Chains A and B, each alone.
Chain A
């Protein structure tokens, strides 16, 4: 009978990474555009008085915990968001099957996790240790 078709196994990690992807979506949508504008385009296109990304300016701001938190959240959020999107784009392009998906998970989630830990390290460095 149709109704008793065996149910496939539940997945354990996808809900977790999907949550991080969603949170990352909010973070990147709200914070990334203004950030890129200030760092990349404000000074070279003369759209801003001074250079918000210049070494001395940026280093002065970097002393503040809020600025460090901001960078950690932004970097972690973009990585978890973007790697998840990339995984599904590659699966759609035909990179499918248990082995291929395990490899994608390993590499892409690895980049997101280690990148976020790296950002955390720099956010705490010179402040906590």
Chain B
């Protein structure tokens, strides 16, 4: 039972014709339990089937429904329309990314960055794979926070440094590097720090901190990057002062 109407201003971009993205307005019936994604789906089902956006789980876990809602990156499935400012709800594609169509942006470059920090357990020798690699609860606690990342890219959309230099490895990839560095089973720490101790790595970060504000999973990538700077520096100093030491 709709209580009233709400106006959605949605950014449209048509890849066939190019040009600049434009806004299109839709009026949709509104109930107080609706999230922004419900509004978009209403538009797609009833008003305009050409509107294109990504979503899958509707429960904040797949990370595909991110968009700038009223100027701030959010998961559209986790953002209630009633919590938005009164009046129109403005939905735009995530900032700082190339736009493919309407609200769909191009993440390919992130996948390369993610791969470059080796987001999986690295071991020099896997040895006997039938043996268990025991993890105690405190071992898991060490990386639990960073492991919650759902690759939603809201942190990249919030990062002005990434906006100015797209080659910056960025918040989520860094947080995931830390997640594996902190894993007691992992042996790839030095390799990851070597990747991050580069011009396009963690040193570009100026600790704006907005990534941690917008992250829907409280991964706190900003703090992760500062920790990585500290780890990379200690590793670097050790190598400068003791060039022969075992850590490469």
The answer to A–B direct touch (Cβ < 8 A) is yes
Residues in chain A within 8 A of chain B (CB atoms): 1-3, 5, 7-12, 14-16, 18-19, 88, 91-92, 94, 96
With A7-B195, A92-B164 in contact, is A15–B112 under 8 Å at CB? no
Chain A residues contacting B229 (CB-CB under 8 Å) are 15, 18
Taking CB atoms and an 8 Å cut-off, the chain B residues in 168-201 that contact chain A are 194-195, 197-201
Q: Can you name the residue of chain B whose Cβ is closest to the Cβ of A84? A: B206
Contact present for B111 and A96 (CB under 8 Å): no
Asked if B224 CB lies within 8 Å of chain A CBs, one says no
Q: Can you name the residue of chain A whose Cβ is closest to the Cβ of B203? A: A14
Chain A residues contacting B165 (CB-CB under 8 Å) are 91, 96
Chain A residues contacting B199 (CB-CB under 8 Å) are 8-9, 11
Chain A residues contacting B195 (CB-CB under 8 Å) are 7-8
In the bound complex, CA of A92 to CA of B206 (Å): 10
Q: Can you name the residue of chain B whose Cβ is closest to the Cβ of A17? A: B203
- Shortest C-beta distance, A94 to chain B (Å), equals 8
Contact present for B233 and A10 (CB under 8 Å): no
In the bound complex, CA of A11 to CA of B199 (Å): 7
With A5-B112, A92-B206 in contact, is A15–B232 under 8 Å at CB? yes
Chain A residues contacting B236 (CB-CB under 8 Å) are 12, 15-16
Asked if B121 CB lies within 8 Å of chain A CBs, one says no
Contact present for B160 and A2 (CB under 8 Å): no
With A2-B111, A15-B232, A15-B236 in contact, is A7–B198 under 8 Å at CB? yes
Contact present for B206 and A10 (CB under 8 Å): no
> Please, could you name 30 A-B residue pairs with CB atoms under 8 Å apart, sorted by A?
A2-B111, A3-B115, A5-B112, A5-B115, A7-B194, A7-B195, A8-B195, A8-B199, A8-B201, A9-B198, A10-B197, A11-B197, A11-B198, A14-B197, A14-B203, A15-B197, A15-B203, A15-B229, A15-B232, A15-B236, A16-B236, A18-B203, A19-B237, A88-B206, A91-B165, A92-B160, A92-B161, A92-B164, A92-B206, A94-B164
Asked if B31 CB lies within 8 Å of chain A CBs, one says no
In the bound complex, CA of A18 to CA of B203 (Å): 8
Taking CB atoms and an 8 Å cut-off, the chain B residues in 203-219 that contact chain A are 203, 206
In the bound complex, CA of A18 to CA of B206 (Å): 11
Asked if B41 CB lies within 8 Å of chain A CBs, one says no
Contact present for A2 and B115 (CB under 8 Å): yes
In the bound complex, CA of A121 to CA of B28 (Å): 72
Contact present for B232 and A8 (CB under 8 Å): no
Q: Can you name the residue of chain B whose Cβ is closest to the Cβ of A92? A: B164
In the bound complex, CA of A59 to CA of B201 (Å): 48
In the bound complex, CA of A14 to CA of B212 (Å): 24
Contact present for B194 and A15 (CB under 8 Å): no
- Shortest C-beta distance, A23 to chain B (Å), equals 11
In the bound complex, CA of A91 to CA of B199 (Å): 12
Chain B residues contacting A9 (CB-CB under 8 Å) are 198-199
Q: Can you name the residue of chain A whose Cβ is closest to the Cβ of B192? A: A7
In the bound complex, CA of A28 to CA of B195 (Å): 31
In the bound complex, CA of A88 to CA of B197 (Å): 16
